[in-house]
Amino acid sequence: MPENLIPSYTIGIDLGGTNTEFGIVDSQGNILFKDRFPTATPDFESWSDLLSEKLSNAMEGFGLKGKIAGIGIGAPCANTTTGCIEAATDLPWPSPIPLVEILENKLGLPVVIGNDANAAAIGEMIYGSARELQNFIVLTLGTGVGAGIVCDGHLLNGRNGFAGELGHITFDFAADRKCGCGRYGCLQTVASAKGIVETTRRFDFKNPADPDNPDFTAKDVTLAAVHGDETAKRVFDFTGDCLGKALAQYAAFTDPEAIILFGGVANARNLLLNPTIKSFNENALHLYAGKVSINISTLNGADAAILGTAALPYIITK
């Protein structure tokens, strides 16, 4: 977008498997307004109606009608060519969903779609710990696991925008875990929030919270580990060990200088980071071992997703 056309405001929407987060952002990266609701509405129509209503009200309330240049939306399995979500295994509705077309009709604004993890990488690049880096990977550890890969200063897109589906690379450490995609051994069966809960279940967690309870989440495991529960700490040791082995392979693709862990599971911070770094350095090829900085995102999770998606209209052209 030429500099003289940089708009005053864009909207960022992060469509996650659990929550939908959205906000209005000015060109300096200030979030004027943000909100969220659970993604699991009865159908896609209800979701898009609810989102449109909330956004219209906000634009009205802030006097921004006619001042929004575009909408960026981050979603799993986003086909940037067709504007559809294709066969997303982490969303509650049947695919494909012509997301761009439907939202443009409802909101009367140009909409661009990007991989949710790519949006996170852009957020890190513009506002976070990846500023001034040319080679890094942002691994999003949430309901699923995804990645935004920046190599030689370019965000990797691929033929249809499906570059960086690193949650679906399979490993023998997860060979007995079936993924939502139908295959066995995907990293996300271990390193996602669901994966953490499943590991906790397998490790015979004795904490008052019961991992077999449907309300039990990865957050409960983090809390227990922070309070010193040995089993919960072992869950993060195991997860970090697996994650380090996976990242050791991933480094061989793009020779990154940094790998940034992002999303809910990364809130466990050093509990997850320390075993991940140890395992990475033990397993990576000599060209990468000890040479890649692995750290936790310095951006607040929800804000980073909004900032990243709100930046999509600046870098994706239709």
Dihedral sign, Cα of residue 151, residue 155, residue 161, residue 162: positive
Minimum gap (Å) between residue 91 Cβ and a second copy: 14
Quick check: 132 binds a second copy (CB under 8 A)?
Answer: no
Tell whether residue 202 is a contact of a second copy (CB under 8 A): no
Q: Cis before residue 96, ω within 30 degrees of 0?
A: yes
Q: Which of 62, 127, 162, 216 binds a second copy (CB under 8 A)?
A: 162
Question: Which of positions 206-235 make contact with a second copy (CB under 8 A)?
Answer: none
Q: If binding is defined by CB under 8 A, does position 83 make contact with a second copy?
A: no
Note whether 25 binds a second copy by CB under 8 A: no
182 is a site residue for a second copy (CB under 8 A): yes
Radius of gyration of the chain (CA): 19
User: Of 232-251, which residues contact a second copy (CB under 8 A)?
Assistant: 249-250
**Residue 257 interacting with a second copy (CB under 8 A):** yes
Binding region for a second copy (CB under 8 A) out of 7-15, 19-27, 152-160, 306-314: 152-160
* Cβ(295)–Cβ(261) below 8 Å: yes
Nearest CB to a second copy, comparing residues 17 and 211: 17
135 binds a second copy (CB under 8 A): yes
Nearer to a second copy by C-beta: 40 or 252?
252
Residues near a second copy, by CB under 8 A: 77, 86-87, 134-135, 149, 151-152, 154, 156-166, 168-170, 172, 175, 181-183, 249-250, 252-257, 283, 285-288
